[in-house]
Structure 1
Amino acid sequence: MTLPAPLTGVVPPVCTPLTPDREVDTASLVRLVDHLVAGGVDGLFVLGSTSEVAYLTDRQRALVLDTVVRHVGGQLPVLAGAIDMTTPRVLDHVRALGAGGADAVVVTAPFYTRTHPAEIARHFRLVARGSEVPVLAYDLPMAVHTKLSPELVLELAAEGVLAGLKDSSGDEGGFRRVLIGRRPGPGSFSVLTGSEVTVDAALAMGADGVVPGLGNVDPEGYVRLYRACRSGDWALARTEQERLCGLFGMVTTGDPARMGGSSSALGAFKAALRLRGIIDCSATAEPQIPLSTEDVERVGKYVAAAGLM
């Protein structure tokens, strides 16, 4: 389907369920997609950070996209991450994702290499030139060690290079500068927040939507939050946002002395999905360390407290 311009609403970054031997569990992935669609989401983002894209082989990436695109059957737009280190590698992914049915691709700045801002701009221009589908920028400095400046984002948006921005930078001032500086009107640039815990504030500033990892666990909650904001019911929005903030506490259940924050957060999302009966196995990709039995019990308490059990 054609990507809406601008893309709006709740677009969760879809977890990638894995089997105990770390292959893609397509049956669980289909159930997860059904769970999200039933929750009222407006699009799906596969092969992002919450999807564990950095851990997946090219074969597994292709399987995830094919499974989701075939199952959704055009009901919702499917965005796919073309995440890799340099322009030639990203272009390979972009071509494969476009051929595989993605409605748009989501691209970070180059990483590993030491890249000048002029080269980052050139990267996005070359990717857009080589893509048959719209390109959204993914501002993720924690992972790629480069912050996309508002000035660069707005410049590329004005050129038509970028169709949107998924902002996971945590830089609320920069995020607002993008919102203030973008051009309004048909075909306008979409600005989406990647924060689970400040969605009401982002929408109040003028954001078009949210890409919440926690939306895998509670899509209905984020849809309620989005709709409350859009209807101007800020009291309801605050109540829903604060409930989701409490649920988001599950990402801290893993012991930081033995595992990284990403392992803890992704493990918690998958544990919650398994506890809710949506996926069969909460395995995360190697070398991430799994949650302990006690950690999973704590996840269950967060899920129950949010009214999801």
Structure 2
Amino acid sequence: MALPAPLHGVIPPVCTPLDPRGGIDTASLARLVNHLLDGGVHGLFALGSTSEVAYLTDAQRGTALEAVIKAADGRVPVLAGVIDTTTPRVLDHARTAAALGADALVATAPFYTRTHPREIAAHFRHLRTAVDLPLFAYDIPVAVHSKLSPTLVQELAEDGTLAGLKDSSGDEGSLRRLLTALGGRTARRTGPAPAFSVLTGSELTVDAALLAGADGVVPGIGNVDPAAYVRLCAAARAGDWEQAAAEQERLVALFSLVDVGPETDMGRSSSALGAFKAALHLLGIINHNTTAFPQRPLSEAAVAEVGRRLTAAGLLTRGG
């Protein structure tokens, strides 16, 4: 389907349910997609970090993406992560995503080896030329070890290479500089609809990003409570910043479940992704809370704590 310009609202990075042996659980994935759509989301980002894309084989990536596209059934755009180390490998994923019917692509800068900004620009331009789908840049320096500068993003926006940016850098100053360079909040809100979409991946400061002129959010915890992010974005679009802040504060409290796994036992990715999946399992949306190996599973005590925090957020009834 054609992407709105700009793409806006809530575009969650879809978790990838796995069976106990690590295979893609397509039935659970279809239920998850319907849960997200029932929550009112405006798009779906398959094969992102929250999807455990870095842990999946190429075949598993294809299976997961095909399942998301089939379940979405054209109701919202599906953005496909084509994340990999080098341009040829990313191109292979991009061609597969296009063949499966993805509506847009999401790519990081190349990584593993250090890459110059001119090489990063050439990477994105080559992808956009080779595969005729809208292309979003994914700025996640914690994973790829390079930061996309506002100047580079603006250049690639103005020449039509990029349709948008998912900013997961955590650098709020850099995001504000980019939004200012793109016209600032007033121009983006009152002028002609911008062709370039700015989406924040910093899900704890969405109200602030929207106030600054961002178009939407890609929230991992949105898998668990998509409707809350939809309410937050609706309040912001209506100029009800008090309500937007109230929704954000509730989501900040809910987000604390990502820390239920002890740092002495597991990495932060294991804890966060395990908590998302434990929550979805407790809510009856997915069959298992399995995470991809070698991530460590949550303990029974940690899963119980996830349940308590879901109950505190009003998402799970006691004993449910």
TM-score class normalised by the smaller sequence: over 0.9
Name the SS for the 2:138 alignment partner.
strand
Shift of 1:23: 0.3
Give the fraction of aligned pairs with identical amino acids, expressed as a percent: 64
Rounded Cα–Cα distance in structure 1 between residues aligned with 2:290 and 2:200: 27
Offset of 1:125 from its aligned partner? 0.9
Does residue 238 (structure 1) correspond to residue 276 (structure 2)? The answer is no
What are the equivalent positions in structure 2 for 1:203-218 lying under 5 Å apart?
Answer: 203-218=210-225
3-state SS in 1 of match to 2:199: strand
Aligned partner of 1:64 in structure 2 is 64
Amino acid at match of 2:261: G
| Correspondence 1:27 to 2:27 | yes
Could you say which residue in structure 2 is the equivalent of 1:162?
Answer: 162
User: Structure 2: which 5+ runs fail to align?
Assistant: none
Supply the AA of the counterpart residue of 2:276.
Answer: F
The Cα of 1:187 is off from its aligned counterpart by: 5.5
Q: Determine the structure 1 residue equivalent to 2:9.
A: 9
Moved more, 207-216 or 65-74: 65-74
Q: Counterpart in 1 of 2:42?
A: 42
Deviations 1:20-78 (A, max 9, x none): 00000000000000100000000000000000000011111111111111121111000
Tell me the distance in 2 between the aligned counterparts of 1:128 and 1:274.
38
Question: What whole-Å deviation, never above 9, does each CA across 1:119-146 have from its counterpart, x for those lacking one?
Answer: 1111111111111110000000000000
Counterpart-to-counterpart distance in 2, 1:99 and 1:107 = 17
Q: Which runs of 4+ in 1 moved over 3 A?
A: 183-187
> Which residue is equivalent to 1:117?
117
Q: Across the two proteins, how many residue pairs are aligned to each other? A: 309
Once the two structures are superposed, the pairs formed by residues 94-173 of structure 1 within 5 Å of their partners are 94-173=94-173
Shift of residue 112, structure 1, vs aligned partner: 0.4
SS at match of 2:162: coil
1:228 partnered with 2:231: no
Letter matched to residue 208 of structure 2 = A
Aligned to 2:81: 81
**Partner SS for 2:166:** strand
RMSD between aligned residues: 0.9
- Please report how far the alpha carbon of residue 186 of structure 1 lies from its aligned counterpart in structure 2 after TM superposition: 4.5
Could you tell me how far 1:245 is from its partner in structure 2?
0.2
Offset, 1:117: 1.5
**What letter is aligned with 1:108?**
T
Structure 1 unaligned runs (5+)? Answer: none
